[in-house]
């Protein structure tokens, strides 16, 4: 009975975090204005969910993030939607599968990487504040690096056509995005994760949920 109650709390917590992901993905709350760029915050609840509820919860939340991205790029396509929506594929089924990997698979990796990194840092008895900062930063960089890296390796030609540049210029554009957008986003994620994580960890411990209270999946 006790385990079942804990499982129910875990599932409800994952559902609530998933609802936050959906809200952020579909409202202006999912973007914050930095001095140079707008940084996404949709991956923040994915990282926090992985910390609080474990890698499997992080993977589920990352999948929700990815599905939101897929739907958004299908319903309101942009110049690069071919890389995020299987329905915008310009190369048939192979392109559709690649788009699913980028939109969903790469986002699942955010949750898995964040959850396992947090567990590793806890086992190493790293200071909680440092662990939160590192997990927030790395989780965000996993999003940027895997998405942009996958675009480079899977859609270099289409990306070059969309940006009206030569294929040889794609690497520079990808690295420019990682540097100009990915690093500021990662810093913002680290700050938000430590600010929110410290509070949520205490709350979840009191409620005996997730990494702080029960054995996670």
Q: What is the mean pLDDT of the chain?
A: 89
* Model pLDDT for residues 49-73, shown as the tens digit of each residue: 999 999 999 999 999 999 999 999 9
* Model pLDDT for residues 10-39, shown as the tens digit of each residue: 999 999 999 999 999 988 888 765 554 456
Q: How far is the C-alpha of 117 from the C-alpha of 138, rounded, in Å?
A: 9
The residues near 172 (Cβ < 8 Å, ≥ 6 apart) are none
Is residue 147 a contact partner of residue 65, using CB atoms and an 8 Å limit? no
Task: Map out the domains of the chain with their CATH numbers.
Answer: 2-212 (1.10.1760.20)
Tell me the torsion sign for CA atoms 4, 203, 46, 190: negative
Q: Is the pTM of this model over 0.85?
A: yes
What phi and psi, each to the nearest 5 degrees, are found at residue 33?
-85, 120
The residues near 45 (Cβ < 8 Å, ≥ 6 apart) are 17, 20, 21, 24, 61
What phi and psi, each to the nearest 5 degrees, are found at residue 25?
-70, -20
CB hemisphere CA count around 94 (13 angstroms): 3
* Model pLDDT for residues 104-121, shown as the tens digit of each residue: 999 999 999 999 999 999
């Amino acid at each position: 009975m006790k385990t079942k109650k804990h499982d129910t709390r875990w599932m409800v917590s994952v559902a609530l975090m998933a609802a936050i992901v959906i809200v952020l993905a579909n409202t202006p709350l999912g973007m914050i204005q930095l001095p140079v760029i707008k940084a996404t915050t949709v991956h923040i609840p994915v990282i926090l969910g992985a910390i609080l509820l474990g890698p499997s919860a992080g993977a589920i939340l990352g999948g929700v993030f990815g599905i939101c991205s897929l739907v958004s790029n299908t319903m309101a396509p942009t110049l690069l939607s071919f890389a995020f929506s299987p329905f915008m594929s310009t190369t048939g089924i192979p392109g559709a599968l690649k788009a699913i990997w980028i939109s969903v698979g790469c986002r699942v990796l955010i949750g898995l990487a964040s959850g396992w990194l947090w567990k590793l840092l806890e086992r190493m008895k790293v200071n909680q504040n440092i662990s939160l900062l590192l997990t927030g930063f790395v989780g965000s960089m996993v999003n940027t690096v895997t998405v942009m890296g996958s675009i480079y390796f899977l859609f270099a030609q289409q990306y070059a056509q969309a940006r009206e540049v030569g294929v040889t210029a794609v690497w520079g554009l990808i690295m420019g995005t990682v540097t100009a957008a990915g690093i500021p986003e990662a810093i913002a994620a680290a700050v938000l994760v430590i600010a929110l994580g410290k509070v949520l960890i205490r709350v979840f411990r009191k409620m005996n949920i997730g990494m702080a209270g029960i054995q996670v999946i």
